[in-house]
Amino acid sequence: PIILAIESSCDDTGAAVMAGGKILANIVAGQQVHEQYGGVVPELASRAHQQHLLPVVQAALQKAGISKNDLDAVAFTQGPGLLGSLLVGGMFAKSFALALDKPLIGVNHMRAHILAHFIEEPRPQFPFLCLTVSGGHTQLVVVRSPLEMDIIGQTQDDAAGEAFDKTAKLLGLPYPGGPRLDKLAQQGNPLRFPFPVNQMPGYDFSFSGVKTAVMYFLRQQTQQNPAFIEENLADLCASIQHTIIQTLMRQLRRAAAEYGLTNIAIAGGVAANSGLRAELQRLADELGWQVFIPAFQYCTDNAGMIAMTAHFQYEAGDFATQLASPDPRLKLG
């Protein structure tokens, strides 16, 4: 099938065209407007989606060399995400599908982050264990097939991406701090400042402890030496990153052992973290895992992953109706 997919769950407006499971175009327009506020402002995000959506869809169709009449289906992100943002993409997709008399496919954004792995080689074999680490979610998911997945653990408070962004903010780094903290960490000593690794039973996660520990530690140190952060920035970044990664890896290792899974994947924007990638590779050697990490452009929000998921849903006959409405808290599975 030839599918047009729309992504508008948060602050990136995306459109992709996929034919027979192959990406023909994948266009993303980001939104700079949020930087000055240090985080995504929902109302501004919806407005920017309104502005970006038509040009992005047009660019995707043009790049793919596909006319809208050639489409077999129109897919959109149904949730989870910001309601206003989801509404803009969802309403567009519904109108477009209605006007063209084409079937509609509603996609779960978190399923799509996982199925981004199937856009390019090497594709993981089922069943596999996926650690999804993004700006809003941290989930351990047993993936049995494209449409059968179970969440076995998730964060009880902040997402891993939030833990990076919030601790980066405490260090005075501009939003979003995750990628900057990663870069600085590469020059630092990860064992210099030991922060607590969360020891939650089961497979859930918690990152509020590390955030609070960093906050109190910095407050105490800067009272004695106002230049403490500046003088130790790389070591602080490396130590914080190390703690977040150890928290993630502890649960990942335990779940992999318990479920007897050796095909291990990571997904979401934090999968871009260089320390996380290196640690995963190291564990692969130690434990005989086969690890899968998507290309960067398919880790962060993009419509290519929505198209890939819609492709599987199309094959399974899983279509939406005009009654489909966005669900900010749409559940996986």
- Contacts with ligand ATP, residue ranges (CB under 6 A): 9-10, 81, 109, 113, 134-137, 161, 164-165, 176, 178-179, 182, 268-270, 272-273, 300-301
DSSP 203-215: T-B--HHHHHHHH
The partner in contact with residue 107, picked from ligand ATP, Fe ion, none with C-beta cut-offs of 5 to 8 angstroms by kind, is none
CB of 181 to ligand ATP, least distance (A): 6
Task: Please say which residue, 174 or 194, places its beta carbon nearer to ligand ATP.
Answer: 174
Coil, strand or helix: which one is 200? coil
CB of 112 to Fe ion, least distance (A): 8
Residue at shortest CB range from ligand ATP: 269
The partner in contact with residue 330, picked from ligand ATP, Fe ion, none with C-beta cut-offs of 5 to 8 angstroms by kind, is none
CB of 65 to ligand ATP, least distance (A): 28
Q: Is the CB of residue 160 less than 8 Å from the CB of residue 154?
A: no
Task: Please say which residue, 73 or 240, places its beta carbon nearer to ligand ATP.
Answer: 240
Show binding-site residues.
109, 113, 132-136, 165, 178, 182, 273, 301
Residue at shortest CB range from Fe ion: 301
Q: Is the CB of residue 291 less than 8 Å from the CB of residue 281?
A: yes
Task: Please say which residue, 96 or 195, places its beta carbon nearer to ligand ATP.
Answer: 195
CB of 190 to Fe ion, least distance (A): 27
Show binding-site residues for substrate.
132-136, 165, 178, 182, 273
Task: Please say which residue, 138 or 167, places its beta carbon nearer to Fe ion.
Answer: 138
Which burial class, exposed, middle or buried, applies to 178 when counting CB atoms under 10 A from its CB (0-12, 13-18, 19+)?
buried
Distances (CA, A) of 202 to 74, 192, 247: 39, 29, 13
Whose CA is closest to 136, among 114, 159, 152?
A: 159
CB of 162 to ligand ATP, least distance (A): 6
Phi, psi (deg, nearest 5) at residue 289 = -80, 155
Task: Please say which residue, 106 or 176, places its beta carbon nearer to ligand ATP.
Answer: 176
CA angle 107, 333, 87 (to 5 degrees): 30
Largest CA distance in the chain: 68
Residues that bind Fe ion (CB under 5 A): 134, 301
Q: Which residue has the tokens 């452009």?
A: 297
